[in-house]
Amino acid sequence: MTLEDKLKELISEWDEDGLKELCSTSIESKEAKPSELLKIIGKIMQFIGKQFEDEEIFLPDLIGSANIVKNVIDDILDPAIRQSGESKETLGRIVIGTVEGDVHSIGKDLVGSFLFSNGFEIYNLGEEVSAATFVDKAEEVGAQIIGLSSLITMSMGFQREVIKELNSRGLREKYKVIIGGSPTSSEYADEIGADGWADDAIEAVMLVKKLLGLN
Protein backbone atom coordinates (compact mmCIF):
# COMPACT_ATOMS: atom_id res chain seq x y z
CA MET A 1 0.00 0.00 0.00
CA THR A 2 1.47 3.37 -0.96
CA LEU A 3 1.53 6.36 1.39
CA GLU A 4 -1.21 7.96 -0.73
CA ASP A 5 -3.40 4.84 -0.40
CA LYS A 6 -2.93 4.80 3.37
CA LEU A 7 -3.76 8.51 3.63
CA LYS A 8 -6.82 8.06 1.41
CA GLU A 9 -8.12 5.19 3.55
CA LEU A 10 -7.73 7.17 6.80
CA ILE A 11 -9.37 10.29 5.32
CA SER A 12 -12.29 8.29 3.93
CA GLU A 13 -12.76 6.56 7.31
CA TRP A 14 -12.50 9.91 9.20
CA ASP A 15 -9.73 8.39 11.29
CA GLU A 16 -8.30 11.66 12.58
CA ASP A 17 -5.97 10.05 15.15
CA GLY A 18 -4.67 7.56 12.57
CA LEU A 19 -4.13 10.34 10.03
CA LYS A 20 -2.27 12.48 12.56
CA GLU A 21 -0.12 9.50 13.54
CA LEU A 22 0.70 8.61 9.92
CA CYS A 23 1.55 12.22 9.02
CA SER A 24 3.76 12.61 12.12
CA THR A 25 5.67 9.35 11.55
CA SER A 26 6.12 10.07 7.81
CA ILE A 27 7.64 13.45 8.66
CA GLU A 28 9.83 12.05 11.46
CA SER A 29 11.13 9.16 9.31
CA LYS A 30 11.64 11.62 6.41
CA GLU A 31 9.39 9.50 4.21
CA ALA A 32 7.64 12.71 3.13
CA LYS A 33 8.01 16.44 3.75
CA PRO A 34 5.00 18.21 5.28
CA SER A 35 4.44 20.14 2.03
CA GLU A 36 4.45 16.85 0.08
CA LEU A 37 1.84 15.43 2.45
CA LEU A 38 -0.25 18.57 1.93
CA LYS A 39 -0.11 18.09 -1.85
CA ILE A 40 -1.11 14.42 -1.62
CA ILE A 41 -3.95 15.29 0.77
CA GLY A 42 -5.14 18.03 -1.63
CA LYS A 43 -5.25 15.45 -4.41
CA ILE A 44 -7.21 13.04 -2.19
CA MET A 45 -9.71 15.80 -1.30
CA GLN A 46 -10.23 16.45 -5.01
CA PHE A 47 -10.95 12.73 -5.45
CA ILE A 48 -13.42 12.75 -2.54
CA GLY A 49 -15.06 15.90 -3.96
CA LYS A 50 -15.49 14.12 -7.28
CA GLN A 51 -17.04 11.11 -5.50
CA PHE A 52 -19.57 13.51 -3.93
CA GLU A 53 -20.33 15.13 -7.29
CA ASP A 54 -20.87 11.67 -8.78
CA GLU A 55 -23.20 10.83 -5.87
CA GLU A 56 -20.98 7.96 -4.73
CA ILE A 57 -20.80 9.44 -1.22
CA PHE A 58 -23.12 11.71 0.79
CA LEU A 59 -22.70 15.22 2.19
CA PRO A 60 -21.84 14.05 5.77
CA ASP A 61 -19.00 11.92 4.29
CA LEU A 62 -17.65 14.97 2.50
CA ILE A 63 -17.93 17.19 5.60
CA GLY A 64 -16.37 14.50 7.83
CA SER A 65 -13.36 14.13 5.56
CA ALA A 66 -12.92 17.89 5.11
CA ASN A 67 -13.09 18.41 8.88
CA ILE A 68 -10.44 15.86 9.80
CA VAL A 69 -8.17 17.13 7.01
CA LYS A 70 -8.55 20.67 8.35
CA ASN A 71 -7.62 19.50 11.87
CA VAL A 72 -4.60 17.53 10.66
CA ILE A 73 -3.39 20.52 8.63
CA ASP A 74 -3.91 22.89 11.59
CA ASP A 75 -2.40 20.60 14.24
CA ILE A 76 0.35 18.70 12.39
CA LEU A 77 1.24 19.92 8.91
CA ASP A 78 1.14 23.69 9.36
CA PRO A 79 3.27 23.65 12.55
CA ALA A 80 5.71 21.16 10.94
CA ILE A 81 6.08 23.36 7.88
CA ARG A 82 6.74 26.41 10.06
CA GLN A 83 9.25 24.50 12.22
CA SER A 84 11.18 23.14 9.24
CA GLY A 85 11.40 26.61 7.70
CA GLU A 86 10.00 25.09 4.54
CA SER A 87 7.79 27.68 2.95
CA LYS A 88 4.33 26.46 2.17
CA GLU A 89 3.50 27.13 -1.43
CA THR A 90 0.56 29.45 -1.36
CA LEU A 91 -1.59 29.74 -4.43
CA GLY A 92 -3.29 32.83 -3.00
CA ARG A 93 -4.80 34.42 0.08
CA ILE A 94 -8.52 34.25 0.64
CA VAL A 95 -10.64 35.96 3.24
CA ILE A 96 -13.92 34.11 3.77
CA GLY A 97 -16.88 34.52 6.07
CA THR A 98 -20.64 34.46 6.46
CA VAL A 99 -22.16 37.89 6.05
CA GLU A 100 -23.90 40.04 8.63
CA GLY A 101 -27.14 38.70 10.09
CA ASP A 102 -26.34 35.08 9.23
CA VAL A 103 -25.09 32.36 11.60
CA HIS A 104 -24.75 29.47 9.10
CA SER A 105 -21.17 28.24 9.12
CA ILE A 106 -20.96 24.72 7.67
CA GLY A 107 -20.95 25.51 3.94
CA LYS A 108 -18.51 28.36 4.32
CA ASP A 109 -16.19 26.22 6.47
CA LEU A 110 -16.34 23.45 3.91
CA VAL A 111 -15.43 25.87 1.11
CA GLY A 112 -12.58 27.19 3.30
CA SER A 113 -11.28 23.67 4.05
CA PHE A 114 -11.37 22.70 0.39
CA LEU A 115 -9.54 25.82 -0.69
CA PHE A 116 -7.03 25.29 2.11
CA SER A 117 -6.37 21.68 1.20
CA ASN A 118 -5.90 22.79 -2.41
CA GLY A 119 -3.05 25.10 -1.46
CA PHE A 120 -4.68 28.44 -0.61
CA GLU A 121 -4.12 30.42 2.57
CA ILE A 122 -7.48 30.93 4.28
CA TYR A 123 -8.56 33.60 6.71
CA ASN A 124 -11.90 32.40 8.04
CA LEU A 125 -13.62 35.33 9.74
CA GLY A 126 -16.52 33.28 11.09
CA GLU A 127 -20.16 34.29 10.95
CA GLU A 128 -22.14 37.54 11.09
CA VAL A 129 -19.17 39.40 9.64
CA SER A 130 -19.64 43.08 8.81
CA ALA A 131 -18.70 44.58 5.45
CA ALA A 132 -16.00 46.72 7.09
CA THR A 133 -14.43 43.65 8.77
CA PHE A 134 -14.19 41.78 5.44
CA VAL A 135 -12.43 44.70 3.80
CA ASP A 136 -10.18 45.49 6.80
CA LYS A 137 -8.99 41.86 6.97
CA ALA A 138 -8.42 41.61 3.22
CA GLU A 139 -6.29 44.75 3.41
CA GLU A 140 -4.40 43.48 6.48
CA VAL A 141 -3.42 40.09 5.02
CA GLY A 142 -2.98 41.14 1.38
CA ALA A 143 -5.75 38.87 0.10
CA GLN A 144 -6.62 38.43 -3.57
CA ILE A 145 -10.08 37.00 -3.00
CA ILE A 146 -12.96 37.82 -0.67
CA GLY A 147 -15.53 35.00 -0.25
CA LEU A 148 -19.01 35.81 1.04
CA SER A 149 -21.45 33.19 2.25
CA SER A 150 -25.17 33.75 2.78
CA LEU A 151 -27.68 31.02 3.59
CA ILE A 152 -30.77 33.07 4.29
CA THR A 153 -32.67 35.42 2.01
CA MET A 154 -32.57 38.03 4.76
CA SER A 155 -28.76 38.24 4.75
CA MET A 156 -28.14 38.20 0.97
CA GLY A 157 -28.24 42.00 0.82
CA PHE A 158 -25.15 42.14 3.02
CA GLN A 159 -23.10 40.54 0.22
CA ARG A 160 -23.88 43.65 -1.83
CA GLU A 161 -22.84 45.80 1.16
CA VAL A 162 -19.31 44.36 1.01
CA ILE A 163 -19.01 45.37 -2.64
CA LYS A 164 -20.35 48.84 -1.78
CA GLU A 165 -17.76 49.08 1.01
CA LEU A 166 -14.97 48.20 -1.44
CA ASN A 167 -16.28 50.80 -3.89
CA SER A 168 -16.51 53.48 -1.24
CA ARG A 169 -12.89 52.88 -0.21
CA GLY A 170 -11.71 52.87 -3.85
CA LEU A 171 -10.59 49.23 -3.49
CA ARG A 172 -13.02 47.37 -5.77
CA GLU A 173 -10.46 46.59 -8.48
CA LYS A 174 -7.98 45.20 -5.94
CA TYR A 175 -10.04 42.13 -5.02
CA LYS A 176 -12.05 39.39 -6.68
CA VAL A 177 -15.29 38.92 -4.78
CA ILE A 178 -16.95 35.51 -4.86
CA ILE A 179 -20.28 34.60 -3.33
CA GLY A 180 -22.17 31.43 -2.45
CA GLY A 181 -24.94 29.94 -0.35
CA SER A 182 -28.25 28.32 -1.25
CA PRO A 183 -30.39 31.46 -1.90
CA THR A 184 -27.69 32.97 -4.15
CA SER A 185 -27.06 32.31 -7.83
CA SER A 186 -24.85 33.25 -10.70
CA GLU A 187 -27.47 35.80 -11.78
CA TYR A 188 -27.49 37.31 -8.32
CA ALA A 189 -23.69 37.54 -8.37
CA ASP A 190 -23.94 39.50 -11.66
CA GLU A 191 -26.68 41.69 -10.23
CA ILE A 192 -24.61 42.81 -7.24
CA GLY A 193 -21.38 43.11 -9.22
CA ALA A 194 -19.52 40.12 -7.71
CA ASP A 195 -16.81 38.39 -9.76
CA GLY A 196 -18.15 34.88 -9.40
CA TRP A 197 -20.50 32.41 -7.78
CA ALA A 198 -20.08 28.74 -6.98
CA ASP A 199 -22.66 26.13 -6.10
CA ASP A 200 -20.39 24.05 -3.86
CA ALA A 201 -16.90 23.67 -2.43
CA ILE A 202 -15.50 21.86 -5.46
CA GLU A 203 -16.77 24.49 -7.86
CA ALA A 204 -15.42 27.17 -5.51
CA VAL A 205 -11.89 25.78 -5.93
CA MET A 206 -12.27 25.79 -9.72
CA LEU A 207 -13.72 29.31 -9.66
CA VAL A 208 -10.88 30.71 -7.54
CA LYS A 209 -8.26 29.06 -9.75
CA LYS A 210 -9.95 30.53 -12.81
CA LEU A 211 -10.17 34.02 -11.32
CA LEU A 212 -6.49 33.91 -10.35
CA GLY A 213 -5.45 32.55 -13.76
CA LEU A 214 -4.16 29.30 -12.23
CA ASN A 215 -5.79 26.86 -14.62
- Contacts with ligand B12 by CB under 6 A lie at 96, 101-108, 110-111, 147-149, 151-154, 178-183, 198, 200-201, 204
Q: Would you tell me how many other CB atoms lie within 10 Å of the CB of residue 176?
A: 20
The conformation of residue 181, written as its DSSP 8-state character, comes to S
Write the burial class of residue 185 (CB in 10 Å: 0-12 exposed, 13-18 middle, 19+ buried). middle
The residue from 26, 149, 155, 195 that is catalytic is 155
Of 4, 184, 199, the closest CA to residue 110 belongs to 199
Shortest Å, Cβ 63 to ligand B12: 6
| CA–CA distances in Å: residue 153 to residues 159, 188, 200 | 11, 12, 18
The residue among 24 and 67 lying less far from ligand B12, judged by its C-beta, is 67
Q: How many Å apart are CA 158 and CA 185, to the nearest integer?
A: 15
The residue among 5 and 141 lying less far from ligand B12, judged by its C-beta, is 141
Shortest Å, Cβ 19 to ligand B12: 21
Please confirm, yes or no, whether 102 is among the known catalytic residues.
Answer: yes
The residue among 34 and 49 lying less far from ligand B12, judged by its C-beta, is 49
Shortest Å, Cβ 176 to ligand B12: 11
Q: How many Å apart are CA 123 and CA 137, to the nearest integer?
A: 8
Please confirm, yes or no, whether 105 is among the known catalytic residues.
Answer: no
Please confirm, yes or no, whether 155 is among the known catalytic residues.
Answer: yes
The residue from 12, 104, 130, 199 that is catalytic is 104
The residue among 60 and 170 lying less far from ligand B12, judged by its C-beta, is 60
Shortest Å, Cβ 111 to ligand B12: 5
Shortest Å, Cβ 31 to ligand B12: 33
Laid out side by side, the sheet with 121-124 consists of 121-124, 93-98, 145-149, 176-180, 196-197
Residue type, 77: L
Give φ, ψ of 184 to 5 degrees.
-90, 170
The residue among 171 and 211 lying less far from ligand B12, judged by its C-beta, is 211
The residue from 102, 113, 117, 149 that is catalytic is 102
Active site amino acids = 102, 104, 155
